[in-house]
Amino acid sequence: MDFTLNEQEEAIRTMASKFAKVELKKVAIEVEENDQPPSRDIVRKFAKQGLLGVNLQTKYGGGGLGHLEAVLVLEEIAKLSIASAFPVFESCFGPILAIEHFGPEEMRKRIIPQVCNGEAIVAVAMSEPEAGSALTDLNTQAVRKGDEWVLSGTKRWCSGAGHADFYVVYCRMSDQKGAKGIGSVLVSKNQTGVSFGEKEKHMGFRGVPSADIYFDEVVIKHENVIVNSGGFKKLMQAFDLERLGNTTMSLAVAQSTFDYALDYVQERKQFGKPIIDFQAVQLKLAEMKMKIDASRMLLYRAVVNAQRGLPSIADSSIAKCFANEMVREVTGIGMQLLGGYGYSKGYPIEQKMRDAWGWGIAGGTIDIQKINIASALVGRRFDQRR
């Protein structure tokens, strides 16, 4: 068992880091100030550099590499800002994985190359006003009418709403109750009957648009069905990999907080000496480092065990849950080490703390991950309704 990166992995990591520092520093500032996602020109730059679809198959325009390489790329860019890294997140860990693994071949050939060349963005539409953690309570419905489906309903908390070109919509496709009746369809932003609510204003995640999506009798051709009713388990298997993208974002925020704080405490002087010389500061740095390294090992275990397939729900939930809790702790320590500077918008830590808290909510809450872990331990699902 070797915990060091090989030559190719190190080269990919270094390339992504250089790209972020050269191409994205100004972009990251603008994204945070204006609360707007990176422009399509920037997304195309990602594509030209080979940073989109790193772990997607080459026959669809992807990089053909493993999930570990995708994690390395995402972490380096997300250290700068999560919004700047979102094009990589969407193309490597987002709902595009459901299309690649379970969608019909025609859909794969039509959609995945557009994502890999930076010409299209695919987002997921899962949650609803009455179906968040209890996702199988969703009411958005696709009704079969001849060779087509008619989609109606409302989706909430959709990251990319109004900005993405296509949406993987979880919906009820039969009269069967619970998970058995759920499948998914692909919907274009420009289809008749698709509209968007007012943009959400979050504490963090600036530059990652989120809004309600309304589907008013949207006609879906049969070739845009990803999985039919009964395919909910497949959809969640693909979502387990998206959770590892979430994990990587948490890790990147924590690592960049640590890097900044480590430099700061060696330069900042109080009582006539650098504050790194105080034992209390040394202990905090050690705590941060231990938690970050442990998180990285859990993430790497999950993606390496999956290779290019899909990770287990246990591996993905453990990695995500630990990282989500870890990043909140690490950014809190980082802010305390910087004192007033940590609380100031003139320095990066306050932004990182705001972004840190979102990852433990997005993609399945921390407590839901713990329930997943317990379920995996005993080999059965727990009915939350009884």
HSE-CB for 385 with a 13 A CA cutoff: 6
Q: What are the pLDDT digits (tens) for 32-69?
A: 999 999 999 999 999 999 999 999 999 999 999 999 99
> Whole-angstrom Cα distance, residue 149 to residue 132?
24
Same domain, 255 and 366: yes
List CB contacts of 154: < 8 A, sequence separation 6 or more: 128, 129, 140, 212, 213, 214, 215
Is the residue at 68 inside a domain?
Answer: yes
Whether residue 386 is contained in a domain is answered as: no
Q: In this structure, are 49 and 128 located in the same domain?
A: no
Q: Do residues 94 and 220 both lie within one domain?
A: no
In a shared domain, residues 287 and 202: no
Residue 314 sits in the same domain as residue 224: no
State residue 386's pLDDT score: 72
Tell me whether residue 1 is in a domain.
Answer: no
174 located within any domain: yes
Residue where a domain stops, chosen among 180, 202, 229: 229
Could you give the number of structural domains in the chain?
3
Tell me the pLDDT of the chain (386 aa) as tens digits.
788 999 999 999 999 999 999 999 999 999 999 999 999 999 999 999 999 999 999 999 999 999 999 999 999 999 999 999 999 999 999 999 999 999 999 999 999 999 999 999 999 999 999 988 889 999 999 999 998 999 999 999 999 999 999 999 999 999 999 999 999 999 999 999 999 999 999 999 999 999 999 999 999 999 999 999 999 999 999 999 999 999 999 999 999 999 999 999 999 999 999 999 999 999 999 999 999 999 999 999 999 998 778 899 999 999 999 999 999 999 999 999 999 999 999 999 999 999 999 999 999 999 999 999 999 999 998 887 77
Residues 127 and 219 in one domain: yes
Residues 259 and 371 placed together within one structural domain of the fold: yes
Is the residue at 2 inside a domain?
no
Q: Residue 151 maps to which CATH number?
A: 2.40.110.10
pLDDT of residue 3: 83
Q: Among residues 229, 262, 282, which one ends one of the domains?
A: 229
pLDDT one-digit tens code per residue, 63-91: 999 999 999 999 999 999 999 999 999 99
Among 116, 137, 164, where does a domain finish?
116
Cβ within 8 Å of residue 132, ≥6 positions away:
156, 157
HSE-CB at 210 with a 13 A cutoff on CA atoms is 19
Q: Is residue 374 part of a domain?
A: yes
Same domain, 51 and 140: no
User: Do 163 and 238 share a domain, yes or no?
Assistant: no
Domain range enclosing 150: 122-229
Contact residues for 47 (Cβ-Cβ < 8 A; gap 6+): 116, 117, 118
In a shared domain, residues 17 and 93: yes
Please state, in angstroms and rounded to a whole number, the distance separating the CA atoms of residues 161 and 107: 21
Query: Both 140 and 172 in a single domain?
Result: yes
Q: Quick one: 112 and 136 in the same domain?
A: no
Q: What is the CATH number of the domain that holds 335?
A: 1.20.140.10
**Quick check: is 383 in a domain?**
no
Domain of residue 102, CATH code: 1.10.540.10
pLDDT value of residue 54: 97
Domain membership flag for residue 92? yes
